Amino acid sequence: MVFGNIFLGMGISIFKFAGLGNDPYSGMVMALADRAGMQYANLLLVINLFVFVLEIAFGRSFIGAGTLVNAFFLGYITTFFYQLWTQLAPPPQHLAVQIPIMLAGTVVTGLGVSMYQTPNVGVSPYDSQSLILTRRLPGISYFWNRIFTDAVCALVCFLAGGIVGLGTLVSAFGLGPVIDFFNVHFTRKLFGENEDIL
């Protein structure tokens, strides 16, 4: 779970470094933070607390140590890695470099989400929303529920004046399958006794 959150923070920072738009939830928080004149990590904590209320109401079984680690520390992990990348190199300005970096961010983010969800020790307030929908709407797969929640965040990001670009679209429509791929082919094999957190 801890390593999963570290990979997730790293993935979010890679998206930001690529400059083509972040994953929808992070992009939304970044846009709202700019509007409010707050630091990303601090606003992320505030928004997570609000979404946590929904998790308490509808998905208590998803709450655990992982929920707290993600809600309280993910923003600061992301900030740490982003500052590291910018110290190593300036943000890329050409699509030929930005696109591979963005795709790397998609893979790292998907791996991170899978790794911290599968041990079943709590998931983030935001990620719990797609899991709650999957549990309560058995006819709709996690894939489609994840796309729905990400699309809503992308819309809010756009309306708040944030960057909604190629990276946002790839995350909104591609992150769910990447998470599912790692769930099936990698992470669940490490936790045979916890194969289905839904």
- Please list the helix, strand and coil fractions of the chain in percent, rounded to the nearest 5, in that order: 80, 0, 20
Q: Token pair for residue 32?
A: 């709202």
Q: What is the pLDDT along the chain (198 residues), one digit of tens a residue?
A: 899 999 999 999 999 999 999 988 999 999 999 999 999 999 999 999 999 999 999 999 889 998 999 999 999 999 999 999 999 999 999 999 999 999 999 999 999 988 887 887 888 899 889 989 999 998 899 888 888 888 899 899 999 999 999 998 888 778 778 888 898 888 888 877 554 544
Amino acid identity, residue 195? E
Q: How many domains does the chain have?
A: 1
Give φ, ψ of 112 to 5 degrees. Answer: -60, -45
What is the domain extent for residue 146?
2-194
User: H-helix or E-strand containing 118?
Assistant: none
How does DSSP assign 56-103, residue by residue? HHH-GGG-SHHHHHHHHHHHHHHHHHHHHHHHHSPPP-SHHHHHHHHH
Report the SS3 class of residue 31.
helix
154/167 Cα distance (integer angstroms) = 11
pLDDT digits (tens, 9 = 90+) for 110-143: 999 888 878 878 888 998 899 899 999 988 998 8
Kindly state the helix (H) or strand (E) to which residue 164 belongs, with its residue range. Answer: none
